[in-house]
Each structure stands twice: as C-alpha cells, then as structure tokens.
Amino acid sequence: MPKIKKKPKKVKKVKKVEKVEKPAPEYPLVREKYFEAEGRRKTAVARIRLFTRGEKKFLVNTKSLQQYFPTFELQQIAQASLEKMKSLDKFRVSAKVKGGGLHAQAEAIRHGIAKALVLFNPDFRKRLKAAGFLRRDPRMRERKKFGLKRARRAPQWQKR
C-alpha cells in the first residue's frame, strides 16, 4: 500500500496587542450616599433610593408624590413604611416605578422603602416585618387559557 502524505497544519499567526491604559473616569469628589432596594407588587416594579443628605423630598418618576399619586389613600400607602418607623423627615426618597396600575405601584414603593430601611438600620426589620411591609405580595393575575374568554371564563353556552 502506498503511503498517504498528510497535509501540514496551517499555523495562525497571532499578533500581540499592546494594552493601552484608559484614563480613570472623573467622578465628583463627594458622592451622595444612598440605600437602594427594589420593591414589587403584581407587575409593578419600584427602584427606591433613600438619601440621607439633601433636601427631604419624595419623588416618584421625577414628580412629587402628590403629583404622581392623585388620591390621599395612594400617598398614604406609598409612605406607610416611613411613617411606621417615624422617619418621614429623615430621608430624601427617589423612586422609579414602572408596570402595573397606580395601586400596585404604590404598594411596590412601600415594599422597596421597607427593604431600603432595613439596609439603613437592621433594627427596623422586626417592626416592618410585623406590619407586613417586607413580604412581597405573591398574588398575580392568572394567565388567559386558550378556548376561554379569560383565565377561567368560558364562552357562553348556547343550546341552538
């Protein structure tokens, strides 16, 4: 049998790349300290930041609390965890909320503020947990099934 010559393997040439040092980004000398947490309810998600310094405001999506939540009840729900710890005038609250309705957004803000307060002071945990502010409400809307009008609503039956 004749011997089969194998083709030599191709060798790839690797170019050496010199590492270029990037200049460090310039941050302001004083960074504001804040405590960040995320609160949820149904499909609403709230990202909360509690600032210890600065003017004591409550902003929701860059609007004031009174502008964003028109009813007094929704404002009370959003501030409930701060009221429970008697620290309404101690923090500047910044909340970014999306998804869900207004009521779910208010409850998501309450949940997020409670989590951020626990990060600020772990002693708050017991009182907030007893009030039920640290538990995420698991109730969600059930999905629509095929062949039905909604999750469980069947089409109306007709005899003829």
pLDDT at 18: 76
- Domain extents in the chain: 34-131
3 state SS of 132: coil
**Phi-psi bin for 154: left (phi > 0), alpha (psi -120 to 50), beta?**
beta
**Is the model's pLDDT at 29 over the cut of 50?**
no
User: pTM of this prediction?
Assistant: 0.76
pLDDT in tens, 107-157: 999 999 999 999 999 999 999 999 999 999 999 999 999 999 999 999 999
pLDDT tens, residue by residue, 8-19 = 777 777 777 777
Average pLDDT (49-72) is 93
Confidence at residue 138, expressed as pLDDT on a 0 to 100 scale: 92
Q: What is the CATH number of domain 34-131?
A: 3.30.230.10
pLDDT tops 70 at residue 20: yes
Q: 29 by DSSP, 3-state: which?
A: coil
The contacts found for 137-144 with CB under 8 angstroms, 24 or more apart, are 137/41, 137/42, 137/107, 137/111, 139/42, 140/42, 140/43, 141/42, 141/43
